[in-house]
Amino acid sequence: MSATMKRAMAAYGQQSLDVTVMSASPHQLIVLLFEGAIKAANLAKMHLESKNIPAKAQEISRAIAIIEDGLRLSLDKNTGGELAENLDALYEYITRQFFEANVKNDIEKIENNIKLLTELKESWMSIVPTLSEAQKAPPAHAVQHGKA
């Protein structure tokens, strides 16, 4: 594939993602954040297996940023109560595990985080807001992510 074609595909991918994000509900945005963190973690694992340490570190940093700047910052601890506090602690744990995986090149920690993030995403996806809920204030089950 030519360099021009690669740039075009990358632009298409970014534009497609931009459209998806702009049209997504708050509930769907949380799913997208989980998907992005899982994708970055899988890429980090792949790069670690192929001994590409700089690329592994970059993908772990990307996963951490999604967790810290997306999932954790979207928590509404005032409204979400104990559930939000528990999710915050879990996100902090996952971030810590990614840091350790990065420093020690520990593939098992990456795999464990992938499993945790996948389970969280599946749990979040099982919560399907109704159309009327989506048009009102955030649904009661989504208050742990204040913007969801």
For 119-130, the pLDDT digits (tens) are 999 999 898 665
**Residue 116 neighbours by CB under 8 Å, 6+ apart:** 90, 94
130 vs 1: CA distance, rounded Å: 44
The residue type of 118 is T
Q: What is the CATH number of domain 25-142?
A: 1.20.120.340
pTM: 0.75
Cα–Cα distances (Å) from 114 to 19, 44, 59, 75, 87, in that order, read: 26, 10, 13, 20, 16
pLDDT reading at 19 higher than 80:
no
Question: What was the pLDDT predicted at 130?
Answer: 55
Its sign, for the CA torsion 109, 56, 35, 25, is positive
The structural domains of the chain, with segments of one domain joined by +, span 25-142
For 30-75, the pLDDT digits (tens) are 899 999 999 999 999 999 999 999 999 999 999 999 999 999 998 9
